[in-house]
Amino acid sequence: MTWDLSNDEIEQTAAMSAEDRYAYFIEKTIEHEQIWSLRNEEGWVLGEATDDIEAIPVWPHPKYAEACATGPWANHDAESIDLKVFIERFVPGMMRDKRVLAVFEVTNGSAIVVDPDAVAYDLDISVDD
């Protein structure tokens, strides 16, 4: 379940550095046990981290994801991924496919690119089983 996200909080997080947005992402994802990305009938969005490495963008709240659903991602909707499902199924698949995560891109700044196992480690430390 998501939380009420105020316009002030959106503006404050958009002004943060990528590293601070990453810490916010980890905190909110653990608290609410959901990760958000963009998806349509063809599947999850993919971006490019480098010329040969694909990135899956993720956010801590659907409003952040929806704000980035522009250009080639305009026909995608925010969709949640349960935290345990993410750690148990998505991370191994991303590792196998050699993909990375683009964590918490904002419209006026870039995401921080992180290996999925590093994100899973940061998230799994505080996840209750």
Domain extent for 53: 17-124
Between CA 4 and CA 14 the distance in angstroms is 16
CATH number of the domain bearing residue 49:
3.40.1350.90
Q: Is residue 2 part of a domain?
A: no
C-alpha gyration radius of the chain: 14
Question: What are the backbone angles phi and psi of residue 73, rounded to the nearest 5°?
Answer: -100, 10
Q: Is residue 5 part of a domain?
A: no
Count of other CB atoms within 10 angstroms of residue 65? 26
More confident residue, 7 or 127: 7
Q: Which residues contact 87 (CB under 8 A, 6 or more apart)?
A: 120, 123, 124, 127
Q: What is the reported pLDDT for 50?
A: 79
Q: Is residue 49 part of a domain?
A: yes
Q: Are 63 and 72 in contact (CB under 8 A)?
A: no
Q: Is residue 93 part of a domain?
A: yes
> In a 3-state reduction of DSSP, which class is residue 50?
strand
Q: Are 104 and 25 in contact (CB under 8 A)?
A: yes
Question: Which contiguous run of DSSP H or E holds residue 107?
Answer: none
Q: Please count the structural domains in the chain.
A: 1
Q: Is residue 7 part of a domain?
A: no
Tokens (6 digits) for 85: 């499902």
Q: Which of the four pLDDT bands, split at 50, 70 and 90, describes residue 129?
A: very low
Q: Is residue 75 part of a domain?
A: yes
More confident residue, 92 or 51: 92
Q: Tens of pLDDT along 32-90? A: 999 999 999 999 999 888 778 999 999 999 999 999 999 999 999 999 999 999 999 99
The pTM of this model reads 0.91
